[in-house]
Amino acid sequence: MRFIVRLFALIGLFGVLLTAGLILLAIKAKDKQPTLPQSVVLEFNFERPLAEAPGEDGWSSLLNSRRGSVREVIDALEQAGRDPKVKGLVAKVGNASQGIGTTQELRDAIARFRATGRFAYIHAESYGDAGSGMTPYYLASAFDQVWLQPVGTVGITGIAVTQTFFRGALDSIGVQPQISKRADYKTAAEMFAEKQATPANREMTESLAGDIYDQMVLGIADGRHLNPDAVKAAIDHAPLLDSEALASKLVDKLGYFDEVETAAKERAGGKAAGADTVDLLTYGKIAGSAFNQGATVALIVGEGEIVRGGKNGGAFNDEASFAANRIADAFDTAIEQPNVKAILFRVNSPGGSPVGSETVRHAVDRARKAGKPVVISMGDVAGSGGYWVAMDADRIVALPGTLTGSIGVLGGKFVAKGLADKLGVGVDQVTRGANATIWSPASPYTDSEAARQDAMLDAIYAQFTEGVAKGRKLEIEKVRELAKGRVYTGRQAKDLGLVDALGGYDIALQQVRQVAGIPGNADLHIVQFPRPKSGYEMVLDLFNGKAAAEMASVAQARGAEKVLADYGPLLDMVQPMVRAAKRQEQVLMMPDLSVNGDLSINGAAR
C-alpha cells in the first residue's frame, strides 16, 4: 500500500514538474523577440479591450491572451514617433470596447503620432454593427484615412441613456428598499428606490449626455475637417450606408482590410523598402519604453471598484482590482525609494468602500508630506470614492469625457420580510443591543437604527465635502453647492475647479514636471509600482501554498458557476438585489452613470 501511495506521489510530482517545464518553455518562446523589418507599419486592433496598466491580467498573460493596456499602447506610439524605422499605423475598429475617456486618450496619442509626420489608417467592417458606432467612429476620426468595408454602415446614431427601475418589481415580491442619500443627485440607488427618474436624476443625465454629445461632435468635425452642423446632420440620418458615409466625407475609401494594409505598406515604401506590419504591443516590447531615462516617476494604477484590505484576487484571478492596502503599499514603496521624484496615480474607479477610499487618500497625503508630489490622472471614471482618493493630490488631471465628482453618499438595506411571508418562510430573531438588527434584511430600521444610519451618512458627507474644500482650496459653501452627489464630465469639473487640467497621460506628465521642479522638456523614467511579476516568477508561485490556495479557490468558483448556470434565469431576476445587499455596509457608492460606448446608466453597486 505504501509503495502505491509513493508511486502516485511520484507520478503527481512528475506531472507538476512537466507542467511547469512546459509553461517555462512557453514563456521563453513567447519572450523571444523578433527582429523589426526595415520599414515598419504598426498594426493594432482597437476592438481589443484595454486594461489601465501592464501586468493586470494574471496567468492569461502567459497564454498570449492578455488584453494589453492603455499605458502600453500610448508608450509604444510615443516610442514609434521617435523611431525612423516606423512609417505609420494601420488599425482596426468596429464596436466599442473602450470608454469615452480612454477613447479620448487614444485619440490624443494618435494625434501626437501623426504630428511626427507619420500616417495613420483605420478600417472597420462596420462602425457599430447592430449597435451604436459613436465611440468607434469618434476614435476613427483621429486618423488621416478612414476606411469602411463595402456593405458596412457608419452607426453614429448619437447618445442614448436608458435607465431601468426595479421598484415596482420589488414591491410585487415584497422587498422594501430602505435607502437614504446625501444629497439630491446621488441617484445610484434610484433603480431600486424609485419607479422612474427623479427631477435631479433627469437634470444630471441631460447635462452629461449633452456634454458628451457635444464633445464627440466637435471631435469628429475637427478630425474630418467638417462643419459641426454637418456632423449633427449625419448623426440624425444615421445609420449611414456605405455610399452615404462616403458622400458625407465621413469615410475616405471603401475597401477591405487586406486592401488598406496593402496601401499602408506601399506608403511605407513597399517590398523594395522592406516594409511589413508589426503588432503595436510587440513593437513596444522590442523597441523599449520611451520613458526609460531621466527623473524617476512612480506610476501607481487603481482600477475598478475600491475594496477594503489586500489585493482582491491573485495569480489565477484576471479581474482588475483597486484594493486599498495594495495601493497603499505601492505608495509606501515609492515613498521609500530616494530616486522617486514624484508619483503619478492613475485612477479609473466608480468608487466603493469608504474605508478603503480613506486608506488610499491617506497614502496620497503621506506621500506628499514625505516630499513626493502626487498628480492624479483620471481615466473613464473617477467618481465617489474615485474622487475621494484624489482630493488631496497636488494636481488632478481629467479627460474631457471622464465621469467624476459624485461627491455624495448613500446607504441602506433591502428588507425582505414581505418576500419571506409570501414564500411562507418564518423568521425569528433574538437580539441584544438596541441596534442589533441594523443590517438585518429580516426587519425594517427601528427609530434608533434609522438615527444611527443618518448619523453615519451625515458624518461621511461632511468629511467628504470638507476634505474637498481643503484639498481643492475651495470655500466650503461652494463645495456643498457643487457636491450633492452630482456627477460631472471632466470638462464640466474643470470649469468648476474640481480638476486642474484636461488631458491624459501626456498632460498629467506635464503637471508632474511642474510640481516636482523638473524642466518641461526633460525625459522621465516611469516605473510602475507594484512591479508586475514576470512569467518566471508566476511559474515559481506554483510551488508555494498561496498559489495552491488560489487554485483551490478557482476550482470552488468553477463549481459555483455550474450551479449558477442551472439556476441562472431565476437568479438573474434577483441578482441586482443580491449584489446591493452584499454591499449594504458600503456607504460610498459608485456614481450613477458610466460611458462605455455610449452614455449608459450603470446603476448602483455591481
Query: Per-residue b/e over 546-573, b at no fewer than 16 CB within 10 Å?
Result: ebeebeeeeeeeeeeeeeeeeeeeeeee
pLDDT at 603: 33
Calculate the CA 474 to chain-centre distance. 28
- The three grid cell numbers given for residue 130, joined into one nine-digit string: 447592430
CA distances 417 to 14, 363, 378, 411, Å, are 56, 42, 42, 19
pLDDT at 515: 96
CB 361 within 8 A of CB 392: yes
- The closest of 486, 590, 602 to 200, measured between CA atoms, is 486
Neighbouring C-beta atoms of residue 1, cutoff 10 Å: 5
Tens-place pLDDT, residues 356-391: 999 999 999 999 999 999 999 999 999 999 999 999
Residues of the chain with pLDDT under 50: 56-65, 312-320, 545, 547-606
Separation between Cα atoms, residue 557 and residue 530, nearest integer Å: 27
pLDDT at 521: 87
Calculate the CA 414 to chain-centre distance. 29
Separation between Cα atoms, residue 423 and residue 426, nearest integer Å: 9
CB-based contacts of 371-374 (< 8 A; 24+ apart in sequence):
372/298, 372/334, 372/335, 372/340, 372/341, 372/342, 372/343, 373/341, 373/342, 373/343, 373/512, 373/515, 373/516, 374/342, 374/343, 374/345
Note the pTM of the prediction, 2 decimals. 0.83
Pairing of strands 176-182, 409-415: antiparallel
- The closest of 142, 124, 121 to 277, measured between CA atoms, is 121
What value, to the nearest 5°, has the Cα angle with vertex 387 and ends 382 and 393? 115
pLDDT at 381: 96
- The three grid cell numbers given for residue 299, joined into one nine-digit string: 506610476
Separation between Cα atoms, residue 347 and residue 363, nearest integer Å: 14
Separation between Cα atoms, residue 317 and residue 538, nearest integer Å: 12
CA distances 14 to 7, 10, 24, 325, 550, Å, are 11, 6, 15, 38, 21
Separation between Cα atoms, residue 120 and residue 132, nearest integer Å: 23
